[in-house]
Amino acid sequence: MSAVILPAGSAGAGAKLHVTRWLPEGPPRAIMLLAHGYAEHAGRYGHVAKRLTDAGYAVYAIDHWGHGRSDGIPGFVPRFSVFTDGMAELLALVEVNHPGAPRLLLGHSMGGLIGTLFLIERQQAFVAAALSGPAIVPGAPPSRFTIWISRFLSRFFPRLGVLALDANGVSRDPAVVAAYLADPLVYTGKVGARLGKEFMDAMAAAQAGAPKIALPILLQHGEGDSLASVEGSQYLFDHVSSADKLLKIYPGLFHEIYNEPEQGAVLGDLVGWFDAHVKPEAAT
């Protein structure tokens, strides 16, 4: 475990972001950059990383600004760009530690939104990507009043809590929900006004920039997801320019498809997708 530091010019300049990495026993076939979801942290993906390292992949993840063990304020963000800035620093670390190795991107929920924006900017750094339950489209289109009030609150009361997430939407497995609520590194407070406004702006930017994405991409979404609309994955599938793309919607599954009872099959689809896009001899 280590840390990366956001550079001057970032809205979070000087902040230390906690890095977790999981390595396979032998030389990695490729290096995966993982972007976790809102309010959680990279440590919740140990079982996902186990499936990936068993398949020969190395996994690198940061706790985003304001999340987990990283610096920042939970529920608040100065600019949404601090999240993509963090991914850029993680990419730089991977380039130093594994020069020339193929790279993959995996993003879940808000991490799927971050990953989408990052691909719009830097897709040439990756050979393939996968997004799980990406938060791309609001569950209901915001009214003009909602947009106005969100911008007002963001400007004058940026840390005011405006929205709480329902933890019961995380998984159909009660043990997963209980562990989520008991995890001291999971933030269970409200989304601040500034983050809510930045989130909406980021969604709009992801929708507008989606046609720029042309690399192989897998979209996975639970049909019963109440936290991130399945329409977001459908939107990306319909609008990215990728000739090689796949949308898999899992009937009945909730938001965290890698933490559902069917996780074995879902993770099998994920590993199979990357296996199909990384050459066996790509180890470095």
Candidates 81, 109, 229, 242; catalytic one: 109
> Over the stretch 36-62, which tens digit does the pLDDT of each residue have?
999 999 999 999 999 999 999 999 999
Q: Is 165 inside any structural domain?
A: no
pLDDT tier at 147 (50, 70, 90 boundaries)? confident
Domain CATH for 233: 3.40.50.1820
Count structural domains, the chain: 1
pLDDT in the model for residue 232: 97
Q: Is 63 a catalytic residue?
A: no
pLDDT at 265 over 90: yes
Candidates 64, 225, 233, 277; catalytic one: 225
Q: Is 95 inside any structural domain?
A: yes
pLDDT at 269 over 60: yes
> Over the stretch 205-222, which tens digit does the pLDDT of each residue have?
999 999 999 999 999 999
Q: Which domain holds residue 277?
A: 2-139+202-282
SS (H, E, C) the chain: CEEEECCCCCCCCCCEEEEEEECCCCCCCEEEEEECCCCCCHHHHHHHHHHHHHCCEEEEEECCCCCCCCCCCCCCCCCCHHHHHHHHHHHHHHHHHCCCCCEEEEEECHHHHHHHHHHHHHHHHCCEEEEECCCCCCCCCCCHHHHHHHHHHHHHCCCCEEECCCHHHCCCCHHHHHHHHHCCCCCCCCEEHHHHHHHHHHHHHHHHHHHHCCCCEEEEEECCCCCCCHHHHHHHHHHCCCCCEEEEEECCCCCCHHHCCCHHHHHHHHHHHHHCCCCHHHCC
pLDDT in the model for residue 284: 47
Q: Is 190 inside any structural domain?
A: no
Q: Is 215 inside any structural domain?
A: yes
> Over the stretch 77-119, which tens digit does the pLDDT of each residue have?
999 999 999 999 999 999 999 999 999 999 999 999 999 999 9
Q: Is 181 inside any structural domain?
A: no
Q: Is 18 a catalytic residue?
A: no
pLDDT at 34 over 90: yes
Q: Is 149 inside any structural domain?
A: no
Q: Is 109 a catalytic residue?
A: yes
Q: Is 242 inside any structural domain?
A: yes
pLDDT tier at 266 (50, 70, 90 boundaries)? very high
Q: Is 217 inside any structural domain?
A: yes
pLDDT tier at 277 (50, 70, 90 boundaries)? very high
pLDDT at 282 over 60: no
pLDDT at 145 over 70: no
pTM: 0.95
pLDDT at 258 over 60: yes
